[in-house]
Amino acid sequence: MKSLRLTYVLSHVAAAVLILATHHAAAQDEHGAVFAMTNATSNNQIDAYMRREDGTLQWSGAFSTGGNGSGGTVDPLTSQGSLTLSTDHHFLFAVNAGSGTVSSFAVKGATLSLLGTAPTGGSLPTSVTQVGDLVYVLNAGSNNVSGFRILGNGRLLPIPHSTHNLSGSASAPTDVVLSPNGQFLIVPESATNKIDVFRVFPNGTLSDPVVTDSAGATPFAAVFAPGGALIVGNVSNTISSYQLDWNGSLRTISNALPTNGMATCWDVIGRSGRSVYTSNAGDSTLSGFNIEGDGALTPIGATVVGQNPSGSTNLDIAASDDRHYLYSLNAVTGTIGMFAVQENGDLVSLGQQDGLPASAGINGIAAY
């Protein structure tokens, strides 16, 4: 009888321990994750990090994309969005510049499962964007974009006749972004100082682009603010905002505001959608701007609000889903810069997460 009671007690203790462990694992998942891409020429991989409650990171594992990157040293893809999370965080998409493919992963916490790869319809894919069941990839080598549908199993199905050329054959495109409603596709062209806007038809094909002169020289990275404004970081160390009209034209709201940083290229929305931050590779800083109700931008404080260690060469930048933390991909040092976003918009450094290859072509960062 005693043995039966002991077995009963032990079984309940084991069940309680399992429930606590499950709840603990779920709590860890709730804090989110950060993903960075090696862009290696052989066996491109994604390094995954669990985000702790305080915003710092813990390495979780490395996951093969099933393709090859471009390799190189610092910023070989010259793009934003080479690694992109779906808006519901269920999927992660990665370009394989050396293979001409795009990979899709299932995301569970900081663990990835490769679902498949698909040809991108062009050469040197460098950026990928997603809204709903639509995915589009920018092929910088062939100056075109191609569309896909996300199937129920997370694999990508090419959309027939969705491949479309940009405005020119030597445009040096740097980013591809879907509007939040999925009705427009945006591509900045850094060589032509143009911004292409494609209308996305219900079947996933694209109109000819409506081409607008960029307000700032060398447009690079585009993001949409929650209020609808299109914000573009320019390599000329400036940032601009636009209103996207129903016909695909862009109207300048804020012209070319100086970032007070060097080699400004990448940007991300932060602080509940009320601010935008730029990553300035030339001096390893981050700049911040408030987003007004009409989409106008105003500097936060002295504009430069965050600092990585000198020589970090921070490239792409990502924000946690709650916008409380920012992460920069520091290419020269092989680290991820970690920052806490303050209520006034300032950034407080949480240090550096190391372990990535230094000066070895890493490109792409995503977070939730």
DSSP string, 149-195: EE-TTS-EEEPTT--EE-SSSS--B---EE-TTSSEEEEEETTTTEE
Rounded to whole angstroms, the Cα distance separating 215 from 259 reads: 14
Query: What is the pLDDT at residue 168?
Result: 87
Helices (H), the chain: 2-30
Find the angle CA(263)-CA(266)-CA(267) to the nearest 5 degrees.
Answer: 130
Query: What is the pLDDT at residue 3?
Result: 42
DSSP SS3 for 294? coil
- State how beta strands 184-189 and 194-199 pair: antiparallel
Return the closest-CA partner of residue 72 out of 367, 360, 363, 365.
Answer: 360
Query: What is the pLDDT at residue 27?
Result: 40
Query: What is the pLDDT at residue 30?
Result: 62
Spatial contact of 280 and 253, defined as CB atoms under 8 Å apart: no
- As a dihedral over the C-alpha atoms of residue 146, residue 171, residue 77, residue 232, rounded to 10 degrees, the angle is -90
What global pTM score does this model have?
0.91
Q: Which tokens hold the place of 354?
A: 């190391």
pLDDT (tens, 9 = 90+) of the chain, 368 residues, equals 434 343 333 344 333 333 333 334 434 446 899 999 999 999 999 999 999 999 999 999 999 999 999 999 999 999 999 999 999 999 999 999 999 999 999 999 999 999 999 999 999 999 999 999 999 999 999 999 999 999 999 999 999 999 999 998 899 999 999 999 999 999 999 999 999 999 999 999 999 999 999 999 999 999 999 999 999 999 999 999 999 999 999 999 999 999 999 999 999 999 889 999 999 999 999 999 999 999 999 999 999 999 999 999 999 999 999 999 999 999 999 999 999 999 999 999 999 999 999 999 999 999 99
Q: Which domains does the chain have, with CATH numbers?
A: 32-367 (2.130.10.10)
Rounded to whole angstroms, the Cα distance separating 256 from 273 reads: 20
DSSP string, 216-277: SSSEEEEEE-TTS-EEEEETTTEEEEEEEPTTS-EEEEEEEEE-SSSSEEEEEEETTTTEEE
